[in-house]
Structure 1
Amino acid sequence: MPAPDIASLYASHVSVLQQRTERALDRGGFDHLVVPSGTLHYQLFDDRDYPYAVNPQFKAWVPLTQTPGSWVVITPGQRPKLVYLQPFDYWHVVPEAPAGYWVPHFDIVVIRTPDEARAHLPKDPARCAILGEAQSALGDIAPNNPPAVLQYLDYHRAYKTSYEIEMMRMASRIGVRAHRAAEATFRSGAGEFDIHLAYCAAARQDAVELPYRNIVALNEHGAVLHYTELDRDAPTDSRSFLIDAGASYAGYACDITRTYARDTSGEFQQLIDAVDAAQLRMCAQVRAGTDYRRIHLDAHLAIAGILRVFGILKLSPESAVETGVSGVFFPHGIGHGIGLQVHDVGGFAESDRGGTIPKPEGHPYLRLTRTLEAGMVVTIEPGLYFVDLLLDGLRGGAHADAVDWARIEQFRPFGGIRIEDDVVCTEADPINLTRDAYAESGAG
């Protein structure tokens, strides 16, 4: 397949953003969209800064993630303007001069101090929708984050342009390369910290460059949904490995989770294989017109069915979902939108004028409730865990006899299973960016 023309894709992307911005500004009654890239945050009682995180509203326009103090200005009918801070600074590396496929689409003004930006921003702040954090204020140019503008932009950001999907495809390739390195390091007998380092080395990204903190969990740690402790020493018996880790490319994220068994012929491997097969069926549900909440509820039925087949659950899958027992083993949502942010905005939006689509009753952790449409990119990440805290609640509750506790004890030392792919909704079959990247790298 020929390589995509990134310059052409980006030109179309900017055109879409301009159209959305014009409509959003009209909704809010503003003349200009002004977006700061953000500034550094400093630790309390110290002169050390936290890792810089660019304003996602800024990087939607330009693939710049390390340029604090810069601004984008969009005025309908005019070329977008980039006010680019390239400071005089001998303490730090100064951002290079703007270059690349995106530069011809902007009028670029280079400034040397943050305060110089004010002269290149609109004169009347009252006519500006300024999207950013409060500390980005520059004199009377202060973020106001008007709801009408944000509601419109956040809602439509769910629909990815072809350029955005290509950036996410690139991020997925990096993530898969790093996941393969992490698996190999696990199988060599290494501990969590060294697996994490192997992942970063293969991704060629430092921990602060990754889109979120790596979850690298061996054995029982796989039962902690957001386990980020990273034990320094390898366990005596390394039975299982769950890794939830992403990668970044041009400001876009991938989000990939895999689970491995040391003994590839044992029963835990069979359980992984069952979850993997079910996950692929869920990915196939990512189609235009499908209510994402339906995928989540179907996932509960699927996980409950697997628990029943493996002799863990005594109830029917339907009864397990109805009574809430399935939630003991699958206590999170089936996934979320993804793009400029790992948990992308607009997941509950009823329309581009606001409103909220509720979560299914009894499922508080679902992060997306919209009906899927072409252009949306979502994660599909079913899980099956043996969490002591939740199991203790089940044991002491009305449904304690719904499970085989001896079977649970057999699986508890393995922690849990999660498998996650990033999937593009189209007018036809979904595109699985994660599985495609694995296939390109040599295996599924």
Structure 2
Amino acid sequence: MNASARTADPSALDTHALYRQHFAELQRRCEQALERGGFDHLVVPSGTLHYQVFDDRDYPYAVNPQFKAWVPLTRNPGSWLVATPGHKPKLIYLQPFDYWHVVPQAPSGWWVDHFEVIVIRQPEEALAHLPKDPARCAILGEAQSALGVGGDRAFVPNNPPAVVDYLEYHRAYKTPYEVAMMREATRKGVRAHRAAEAAFRAGKSEFDIHLAYCGAARQDANELPYGNIVALNQNGAVLHYMELDREAPAQSRSFLIDAGASHHGYACDITRTYASDGGGEFQALIDAVDAAQRKMCDQVRAGTDYKRIHLDAHLALAGILKDAGVLKVSPEAAVATGVSGVFFPHGIGHGIGLQVHEVAGFAASDRGGRIDKPAGHPYLRLTRVLEAGMAVTIEPGLYFVDLLLDGLKQGEHAGSVDWNRIEQFRPFGGIRIEDDVVCTDAAPINLTRDGFAEAA
């Protein structure tokens, strides 16, 4: 990554200037990736609609991340991007004749002047504007985006590993423009999280809290970057709980919400946990996890192995359980025997950006290879050493999961915990605190904490 693209805080900078810098970095990466793969052109379809089997209804459209890396278009199936080193990139923009649906407006904004925009009315018309020789193209997309099959020029996604490995590896390094987009997504997410907390305090059901969230984010379920996790009471012990009970429980003791928002194709990913008024010991547990999580966020420094943050988190969380009287053994013993994993059964986080779980989390280099997960930690999604520009989540958690606790009770380490204390915490489900953090050459930028501070 060149020095000009290293991430500083872009909040006060102009979007046009930020995008210009981002565009230049994409061109540099494109040229290098094509050279690695031995191709002349990068061709990226935006994607097409998937239809349900035995039906004429389509699934919600999801844009190709390789496409939205270049242009902030997320609702434009049937479009194509062509990047050729030394030439102005083409955006082949599908604006169909259609009286069934709203037709996309002509592209506009700070990014348009960087492209030769070609408007087409039928998907097949894109073929006339794609490079002459498909064999000289790295075509990145899903198989069903293929165009011209059966003719003399078929553009079938080939996803060459040398090109994909390079582009995905370097996508971990966010340009200042990308950080600005993530900051805007965070503002929407924070606004919605505050509305969700208010709905919880008012005694609303999970479904009603979800609707309050969507209303405040001004995004519906298909526009959000992932399905909302809205969990009251013991439901917080289900890591990906998405049932959304329609009726409020007789007593709302606790509330865990893991929900994000989108802005021009970029995501935020925020989790907070609350106790009802007078939450007592569970509130104290939340406060302890929150304090530990802040320290973990401060570990997001250039040169830090992300695996180290995960392993350190196990020790810190085991210390919290020890202080709360849940553990009867030392934190070190709980980690060594795997008992800590009963209460913290997932990874400390993942990369984030164009995708909620950003790609290339295990990549050893931009030429491929894999950095394995630590033994005994199968759910960690990122194993790279942090560098300036990387954006990651930090999301420690403590849960009282019946399935995992039953396994502990039946195993050799059942005496490591105080089962009476566990029974006291079971009705509250669990705790997770998650922030999005950008690594820089200096102190990390905590987009989430900044967002809540700004909103307050």
Q: Same fold (TM over 0.5)?
A: yes
> How far, CA to CA, are the matches of 1:277 and 1:218 in structure 2?
22
Classify the secondary structure of the residue corresponding to 1:245: strand
- TM-score, normalised on structure 2? 0.96
Provide the alpha-carbon RMSD of the alignment: 0.8
Query: Which residue of the partner structure matches residue 129 of structure 2?
Result: 120
Query: Which residue of the partner structure matches residue 222 of structure 1?
Result: 236
> How far, CA to CA, are the matches of 2:14 and 2:382 in structure 1?
32
Query: Which residue of the partner structure matches residue 23 of structure 1?
Result: 32
Classify the secondary structure of the residue corresponding to 1:91: coil
Query: Which residue of the partner structure matches residue 86 of structure 1?
Result: 95
**Contact kept in structure 2, 1:155 and 1:345, CA below 8 Å:** yes
Give CA deviations for 1:77-128 in whole Å, capped at 9, x if unaligned.
Answer: 0011100000000000000001000000000000000000000000100000
Listed as ranges, the gaps of 5+ residues in structure 1 are none
Does 2:127 match 1:107?
no
> How far, CA to CA, are the matches of 2:13 and 2:33 in structure 1?
30
Give CA deviations for 1:309-360 in whole Å, capped at 9, x if unaligned.
Answer: 0000011111111100000000000000000000000100000000000100
Does 2:69 match 1:55?
no
Aligned-pair CA distance for 1:399: 0.1
Match of 1:320 among 325, 331, 334: 334
Query: Which residue of the partner structure matches residue 51 of structure 2?
Result: 42
Query: Which residue of the partner structure matches residue 165 of structure 1?
Result: 179
Query: Which residue of the partner structure matches residue 206 of structure 1?
Result: 220
Give CA deviations for 1:185-244 in whole Å, capped at 9, x if unaligned.
Answer: 000000100000000000000000000000000000000000000000000011000000
> How far, CA to CA, are the matches of 2:337 and 2:26 in structure 1?
45
Aligned-pair CA distance for 1:2: 7.3
Aligned-pair CA distance for 1:62: 0.1
> How far, CA to CA, are the matches of 1:380 and 1:339 in structure 2?
14
Aligned-pair CA distance for 1:265: 5.0
Query: Which residue of the partner structure matches residue 75 of structure 1?
Result: 84
> How far, CA to CA, are the matches of 2:46 and 2:443 in structure 1?
36
Aligned-pair CA distance for 1:4: 2.3
> How far, CA to CA, are the matches of 1:366 and 1:305 in structure 2?
21
**Contact kept in structure 2, 1:263 and 1:269, CA below 8 Å:** no
Classify the secondary structure of the residue corresponding to 1:347: coil
Query: Which residue of the partner structure matches residue 95 of structure 1?
Result: 104
Match of 2:300 among 286, 289, 301: 286
Classify the secondary structure of the residue corresponding to 2:369: strand
Query: Which residue of the partner structure matches residue 252 of structure 1?
Result: 266
Does 2:170 match 1:156?
yes
Query: Which residue of the partner structure matches residue 7 of structure 2?
Result: none
> How far, CA to CA, are the matches of 1:440 and 1:263 in structure 2?
24
> How far, CA to CA, are the matches of 1:3 and 1:305 in structure 2?
40
> How far, CA to CA, are the matches of 1:376 and 1:265 in structure 2?
36
> How far, CA to CA, are the matches of 1:415 and 1:109 in structure 2?
53
Classify the secondary structure of the residue corresponding to 2:352: coil
Does 2:367 match 1:353?
yes
Aligned-pair CA distance for 1:264: 4.0
**Contact kept in structure 2, 1:215 and 1:244, CA below 8 Å:** yes
Using a 3 Å threshold, how does the CA distance of structure 1 residues 32 and 264 change in structure 2: closer, same or farther?
A: farther
Query: Which residue of the partner structure matches residue 449 of structure 2?
Result: 435
> How far, CA to CA, are the matches of 1:428 and 1:58 in structure 2?
31
- Give matches, 1:267-286, under 5 Å: 267-286=281-300
Query: Which residue of the partner structure matches residue 252 of structure 2?
Result: 238
The runs of at least 4 consecutive aligned structure 1 residues that moved more than 6 Å come to none
Query: How many residues align structurally?
Result: 442
**Contact kept in structure 2, 1:115 and 1:138, CA below 8 Å:** yes
**Contact kept in structure 1, 2:48 and 2:61, CA below 8 Å:** yes
